[in-house]
Each structure stands twice: as structure tokens, then as C-alpha cells.
């Protein structure tokens, strides 16, 4: 008996370290189930029986409780899928809104970051030369612009004349 108890102690040590084989574990459980154990092993016996005891009574409403639990899972999922459905409906708008925001964000960033850098170098270093070139350009521009405006001005004069004549005829008739 003593011999056996010592061996059981050893086996238990190894068991708690997780080193026992299946056979050894069976021996331990057999031992605890069959024999009256000394007080020092009483704690271990309770642990062992709770681990290896096969005759746990099955509650009669177990099946009901399990299926109720499964049903509740199902309900949960339904609620969730309704929520994701809403999200799916909203998602195109979210995508559009997000991209619009991005566009404006980046545009703002680009514009504020680089306020139109000088694209080209000045042709003239001397303001007087630049001034002369500018005046030349403005002169050329004005010449052509005036060429376009002259017929319009002429037409305007004609329109004015015509209007005068119309006015006069209306007033003299009255």
C-alpha cells in the first residue's frame, strides 16, 4: 500500500507536469476510483474524479437549452445582417462622398502647397527691356483688338442712328 502510494505521488507529480502517458493516467484514475485514499491525496482525488468521471448526470432539458442557444445565435446573425444590408445600401454614397472629399482635399493641398510656382524664367533681367517688350506686345494686341472693334463701333453708330430715326418717326406720328 505504501509502496503504491509513493508511486501514485510520483505519477501525480508527473501528471501535473503534463508528462504522463495515457496508460499512466488510466492507472491514476483507476486508483482514485477504487480505493480509499489517504487524506493527503484527498484533494487530488477530487481533481481527478472531476476530470475523469464519466457519470455526470445529463440535465433532461439539455437539448432544449442547446437549441434555444442556437436559435439565439441565429437571431443575432439576422440582426447583424440587417445592419450590414443598410451599410451595403449606403456604401455607394459613402464611396462617392469619400472620393469627393479626397478630391477637394488634395486639390486644396496642392493649391495651398504650391501657389503656382514660376513656370518659366524671366526672359529679361532688365525691367526696362521687359517693359519695352511688354509695350510692344500691348501695341500689337491693341492694333488687332481695335481692328476687331472698329466694325462693331461702326455698327453701333449705325444702330444708334437707326434708333434715332425710329424714335423720331414714332414721336412725329403721335
Partner 1 sequence: MRKLLIAILFVVCAANLSAQKNPFEQFTEMDGVTSVYISKNMLSLFPKNAKNNYGGIDVGNFLHKLSSILILTTEDKNIGKRMVSLANNQVKGDNYELLMRVKSDDDDNVNFFMKGKPESIRELIMIVDGSDDESVILQFLGDFTLQDIQKMTEGFGKD
Instruction: Report the distance separating Cα 91 and Cα 161, nearest Å.
Output: 66
Category of 56 on φ-ψ map: left (φ > 0), alpha (ψ -120 to 50) or beta: beta
Phi then psi dihedrals of residue 163, to 5 deg: -60, -40
CB of 106 to partner 1, least distance (A): 5
Contact 123, 130 (CB under 8 A): yes
Residue 16 or residue 109: which is nearer to partner 1 going by CB? 109
Contact 52, 29 (CB under 8 A): yes
For residue 86, state whether it binds partner 1 (rule: CB under 8 A). Answer: no
Query: Which one of residues 64, 111, 162, 168 is an interface residue with partner 1 (CB under 8 A)?
Result: 111
Query: Which one of residues 18, 57, 59, 148 is an interface residue with partner 1 (CB under 8 A)?
Result: 148
For residue 49, state whether it binds partner 1 (rule: CB under 8 A). Answer: no
104 grid coordinates: 477637394
Residue carrying the nine cell digits 432539458 = 61
Which residues inside 128-147 make contact with partner 1, applying CB under 8 A?
128, 130-131, 133-135, 137-147
Nearby residues of 106 by Cβ (< 8 Å), 6 or more positions away: none
5 grid coordinates: 502510494
Residue 150 or residue 169: which is nearer to partner 1 going by CB? 150
Residue 47 or residue 94: which is nearer to partner 1 going by CB? 94
Residue 16 or residue 131: which is nearer to partner 1 going by CB? 131
CB of 163 to partner 1, least distance (A): 22
116 grid coordinates: 503656382
Query: Which one of residues 56, 70, 121, 170 is an interface residue with partner 1 (CB under 8 A)?
Result: 121
For residue 89, state whether it binds partner 1 (rule: CB under 8 A). Answer: no
Q: How far is CA 48 from the centre of its chain?
A: 51
* Contacts to partner 1 by CB under 8 A: 92, 95, 98-99, 102-103, 106-107, 110-111, 114, 116, 118-124, 127-128, 130-131, 133-135, 137-149
Amino acid at each position: 500500500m505504501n509502496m503504491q502510494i509513493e508511486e501514485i505521488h510520483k505519477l501525480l507529480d508527473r501528471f501535473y507536469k503534463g508528462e504522463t502517458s495515457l496508460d499512466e493516467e488510466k492507472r491514476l484514475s483507476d486508483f482514485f476510483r477504487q480505493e480509499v485514499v489517504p487524506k493527503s491525496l484527498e484533494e487530488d482525488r477530487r481533481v481527478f474524479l472531476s476530470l475523469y468521471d464519466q457519470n455526470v448526470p445529463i440535465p433532461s432539458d439539455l437539448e432544449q437549452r442547446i437549441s434555444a442557444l442556437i436559435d439565439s445565435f441565429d437571431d443575432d446573425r439576422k440582426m447583424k445582417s440587417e445592419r450590414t444590408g443598410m451599410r451595403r445600401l449606403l456604401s455607394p454614397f459613402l464611396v462617392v462622398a469619400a472620393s469627393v472629399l479626397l478630391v477637394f482635399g488634395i486639390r486644396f493641398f496642392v493649391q495651398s502647397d504650391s501657389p503656382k510656382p514660376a513656370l518659366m524664367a524671366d526672359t529679361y533681367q532688365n525691367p526696362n527691356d521687359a517693359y519695352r517688350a511688354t509695350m510692344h506686345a500691348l501695341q500689337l494686341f491693341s492694333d488687332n483688338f481695335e481692328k476687331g472693334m472698329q466694325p462693331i463701333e461702326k455698327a453701333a453708330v449705325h444702330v444708334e442712328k437707326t434708333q434715332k430715326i425710329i424714335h423720331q418717326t414714332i414721336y412725329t406720328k403721335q
